[in-house]
């Protein structure tokens, strides 16, 4: 089992959101209408799930939940009270805070913890080895980084500091999974896409480019998509990736422990990740990976 880091965004938050879109939860409902205690004047209260999923929320780009230690207000109120760094919907910037906030909103609207909501979806897809941490150390679990010389490696504890601060369960990180479970997830998405099922329709909507990233890539709903919408992929900081191509019916799950020796090692994955994107859809896409 690997700490999949930001793959949590698509495995958990995106999946739960897509299967729960009904009033009062819609893509364009302001967050202040989905969570209690968010004042009308709270800057982040007017952000919508669509803007969070497309990383155009304008929320602060640094996560830094440690700054709220000792505060007694609910986390959602603290996140929404911060000044915005851009007008919502106008600028793409990768923001973890938005997914933290969306995870809180989903839990409140649906009346269950995010890990419980995600687990019910994973169980339905046969993903028995996927779970939020913290997990008990075992030989089946890949340890990640040693933060301090001589200290033990992180092993079963989420590598993401902010997810760890939230007890391991967050909308942006904290999930552990296996290559086989990622394959089951990808297979289910592609099959549902071909059959017109609920998850497949959600994937189709998410493949539509919503915000330009650069190098011919765009942000759809959570996923990074090619300009023609033929492929989708997402990376995890620890060295994981998942690629989907409904156009070819191919997928590729990449599980590495790139942060094992040092977190800077993950940059060496760039050529492999580019090859993986090309492998799932070798046909014309309108842009190089």
Write out pLDDT tens, residues 98-125. 999 999 999 999 999 999 999 999 999 9
Phi-psi region of 111 (alpha: psi -120 to 50; beta: other; left: phi over 0): left
Per-residue pLDDT, 217: 94
What is d(CA 247, CA 259) in angstroms, rounded to the nearest whole number?
Answer: 33
What is d(CA 88, CA 59) in angstroms, rounded to the nearest whole number?
Answer: 8
Q: Which DSSP state fits 125? A: T
Residues 6+ apart with CB under 8 A from 162: 63, 64, 65, 66, 96, 100, 170, 172, 173
Confidence of residue 215 (pLDDT cuts 50, 70, 90): confident
Is the link from the previous residue into 220 a cis peptide, with omega within 30 of 0?
Answer: no
Confidence of residue 285 (pLDDT cuts 50, 70, 90): very low
**Residue 283, pLDDT above cutoff 70:** no
Write out pLDDT tens, residues 247-270. 999 999 999 999 998 777 767 899
Write out pLDDT tens, residues 149-205. 888 999 999 999 999 999 999 999 999 999 999 999 999 999 999 999 999 999 999
Q: Which DSSP state fits 11? A: I
- Looking from the CA of 174 toward its CB, the CA atoms found within 13 Å total 25
Q: Is the pTM of this model over 0.85?
A: yes
Per-residue pLDDT, 289: 29
Name residue, tokens 């919907």: 89
**Residue 56, pLDDT above cutoff 50:** yes
Confidence of residue 287 (pLDDT cuts 50, 70, 90): very low
Per-residue pLDDT, 267: 77
């Amino acid at each position: 089992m690997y700490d999949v880091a930001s793959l949590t965004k698509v495995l958990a938050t995106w999946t739960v959101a897509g299967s729960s879109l009904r009033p009062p939860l819609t893509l364009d409902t302001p967050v202040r209408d989905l969570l209690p205690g968010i004042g009308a004047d709270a800057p982040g209260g007017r952000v919508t799930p669509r803007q969070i999923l497309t990383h155009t929320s304008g929320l602060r780009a640094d996560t830094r939940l440690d700054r709220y230690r000792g505060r007694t207000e609910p986390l959602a109120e603290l996140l929404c009270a911060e000044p915005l760094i851009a007008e919502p919907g106008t600028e793409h910037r990768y923001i973890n805070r938005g997914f933290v906030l969306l995870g809180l909103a989903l839990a409140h609207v649906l009346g269950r913890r995010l890990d419980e909501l995600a687990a019910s979806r994973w169980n339905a897809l046969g993903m028995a080895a996927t779970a939020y941490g913290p997990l008990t150390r075992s030989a089946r679990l890949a340890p990640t980084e040693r933060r301090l010389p001589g200290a033990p490696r992180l092993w079963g504890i989420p590598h993401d500091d902010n997810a760890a601060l939230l007890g391991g369960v967050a909308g942006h990180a904290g999930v552990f999974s296996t290559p086989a479970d990622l394959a089951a997830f990808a297979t289910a998405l592609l099959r549902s896409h071909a059959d017109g099922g609920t998850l497949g329709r959600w994937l189709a909507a998410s493949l539509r480019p919503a915000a330009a990233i650069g190098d011919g890539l765009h942000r759809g709903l959570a996923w990074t998509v090619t300009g023609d919408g033929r492929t989708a992929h997402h990376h995890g900081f620890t060295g994981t990736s998942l690629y989907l191509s409904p156009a070819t019916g191919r997928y590729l799950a990449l599980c590495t422990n790139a942060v094992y020796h040092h977190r800077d090692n993950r940059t060496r994955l760039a050529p492999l990740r580019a090859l993986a994107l090309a492998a799932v859809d070798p046909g014309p896409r309108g842009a190089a990976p």
